[in-house]
Amino acid sequence: MTIYNEEWVRAEEAKRAYMDANSLYKSEDEHSSCGVGLVVAISGKPSRQVVENGINALKAIWHRGAVDADGKTGDGAGIHVQIPVRFFYDQV
Alpha-carbon distance of 81 to 56, in angstroms, equals 14
Alpha-carbon distance of 24 to 15, in angstroms, equals 13
Question: Which residues have CB under 8 Å from 79's CB, separation 6+?
Answer: 51, 54, 55, 58
From 34, 40, 41, 61, the catalytic residue: 34
Q: Is 25 within 8 Å of 16 (Cβ atoms)?
A: yes
Q: Does residue 83 have an active-site annotation?
A: no
Active site residues: 34
